[in-house]
């Protein structure tokens, strides 16, 4: 990584399927739920696929148009997060969406093939409006821009959460429409929905999420992790350490299963048994979890500490990936215009 070579140089990418995933830079840090839900999967996929990761700052504007001053910091934070969990710039092309303006041009063309009613029906739009987001044109055309993100680099597979599946289907539908009307330009993308677990928050009330204030971040210090774990929700019915406790769905044990190594398994199994029989206290199990989580986070912290001392390297990785993606985007867009017979007056 230190040599900052462009992705693909060390990989025979010709026969590899291309995957594209993306994140909106609405925050500068990842939490354990993001790790379990998507980052861990990406680390695995980078070896099997020609992987693109898009930082969708234009999409972030659909909800953060009044917080543009945070975007630069958030983008750097996401990059540090990706690299510190082990995404390797030799294998992954990191792309900053707004620096590939061709995506907006393609989005316009795709918009000409998109009936308004299809966009009106998208479930994600209703959800965002219910959450109080402004009913802007950019929010309305969100799936069109996302389809352009996917089709511009001719991605085959799009690993996303269930909530994004409809958007990938939209991209596929519009690609079919384009190919039928103008000729085969786009491979048809498919979503890749892994059976990724959702991690409960430290409050045990729902999914881990920054806005619910129940998250442990990859950037939390060992002390912060300890503080959060020691005040974690466990089994509310258990008053004394001698009361039999519930293991199933208890976030402490969910985390132990998710972040313990194989070597930790016998001890974890033992604690589950003792806990269910009322033979071990919450405090002892939580102290064990603190150790497990910090063991998991330490190498991530170390990589991040190193990268934080080399901000120009991190910037260069993003710029080089974006430059590579842009070259491909320009190629695709030229094909698009040729197919549409818009390659006149050039
Ligand atoms: N909509 C995605 C999200 O909110 C982010 C995203 C933008 C994306 N463009 C993409 C994901 C292209 C996959 C492919 O999570």
> Is residue 1 domain-resident?
no
pLDDT band at 12 (very low <50, low <70, confident <90, very high): low
> Is 207 a known active-site residue?
yes
Distance CA 321, CA 91 (A): 11
329 and 273 belong to one structural domain: no
Residues 74 and 16 in one domain: yes
What string of H, E and C letters represents the secondary structure of 235-260? CCCCCCCCCCCCCCCCHHHHHHHHHC
**Pair (32, 146) in one structural domain:** yes
Per-residue confidence (pLDDT) for residue 14, from 0 to 100 = 59
150: CA distance to ligand 1 center in Å? 9
Q: Hey, how many other C-beta atoms are within 10 angstroms of the C-beta on 338?
A: 13
pLDDT of residue 162: 87
Residue 212 lies in a domain: no
60/70 Cα distance (integer angstroms):
11
Examine residue 344 and state whether it is found in any structural domain, yes or no. no
Q: Return the minimum-mean-pLDDT range out of 30-34, 61-65, 194-198.
A: 194-198
User: Do 279 and 173 share a structural domain?
Assistant: no
Based on the structure, what is the number of domains in the chain? 2
What's the pLDDT score for residue 198?
Answer: 84
In this structure, the answer to whether residues 185 and 330 fall within a common structural domain is: yes
Q: What is the pLDDT of residue 194?
A: 74
Tell me: do 39 and 141 sit in the same domain: yes
- Decide if 90 is catalytic: no
Mutate to test the pocket of ligand 1, among 52, 59, 329 (most ligand atoms within 8 A of CB): 59
DSSP state of 37: I
Domain range for 273: 222-302
**Together in a domain, 102 and 246:** no
Distance 145 CA to ligand 1 centre (A): 9
Provide the sign of the torsion angle of the four alpha carbons 201, 83, 187, 62, taken in this order.
positive
pLDDT of residue 5: 46
pLDDT digits 0-9 by tens, 267-292: 999 999 999 999 999 999 999 999 99
Q: What is the per-residue pLDDT for 11?
A: 54
Interval 121-156: pLDDT, tens: 999 999 999 999 999 999 999 999 999 999 999 999
Other beta carbons within 10 angstroms of residue 263's beta carbon come to 8
Taking residues 340-344, what's their average pLDDT? 97
Q: Find the CATH number of the domain harbouring 235.
A: 1.10.240.10
């Amino acid at each position: 990584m230190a040599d900052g070579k462009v992705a693909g140089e060390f990989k025979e990418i010709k026969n590899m399927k291309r995957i594209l995933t993306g994140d909106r830079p609405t925050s500068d840090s990842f939490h354990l739920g993001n790790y379990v839900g998507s980052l861990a999967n990406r680390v695995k996929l980078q070896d099997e696929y020609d992987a693109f990761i898009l930082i969708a700052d234009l999409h972030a504007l659909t909800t953060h148009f009044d917080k543009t001053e945070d975007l630069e910091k958030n983008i750097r934070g996401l990059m540090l997060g990706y690299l510190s969990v082990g995404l390797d710039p030799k294998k992954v092309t990191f792309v900053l969406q707004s620096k590939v303006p061709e995506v907006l041009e393609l989005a316009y063309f795709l918009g000409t093939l998109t009936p308004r009613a299809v966009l009106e029906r998208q479930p994600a739009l209703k959800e965002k409006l219910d959450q109080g987001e402004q009913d802007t044109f950019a929010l309305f055309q969100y799936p069109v821009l996302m389809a352009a993100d996917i089709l511009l680099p001719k991605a085959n597979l799009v690993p996303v959460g269930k909530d994004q599946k409809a958007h990938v289907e939209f991209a596929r539908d519009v690609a079919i429409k384009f190919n039928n009307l103008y000729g085969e330009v786009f491979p048809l993308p498919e979503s890749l929905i892994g059976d990724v677990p959702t991690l409960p928050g430290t409050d045990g009330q729902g999914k881990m999420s920054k806005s619910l204030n129940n998250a442990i971040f990859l950037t939390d210090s060992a002390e912060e992790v300890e503080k959060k774990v020691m005040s974690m929700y466990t089994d509310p019915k258990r008053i004394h350490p001698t009361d039999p406790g519930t293991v199933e769905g208890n976030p402490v044990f969910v985390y132990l299963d998710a972040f313990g190594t194989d070597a930790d398994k016998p001890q974890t199994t033992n604690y589950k048994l003792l806990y269910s029989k009322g033979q071990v206290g919450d405090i002892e199990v939580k102290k064990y979890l603190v150790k497990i989580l910090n063991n998991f986070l330490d190498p991530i912290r170390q990589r991040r500490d190193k990268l934080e001392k080399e901000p120009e390297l991190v910037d260069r990785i993003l710029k080089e990936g974006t430059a590579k993606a842009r070259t491909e985007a320009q190629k695709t867009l030229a094909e698009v215009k040729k197919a549409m017979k818009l390659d006149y007056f050039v």
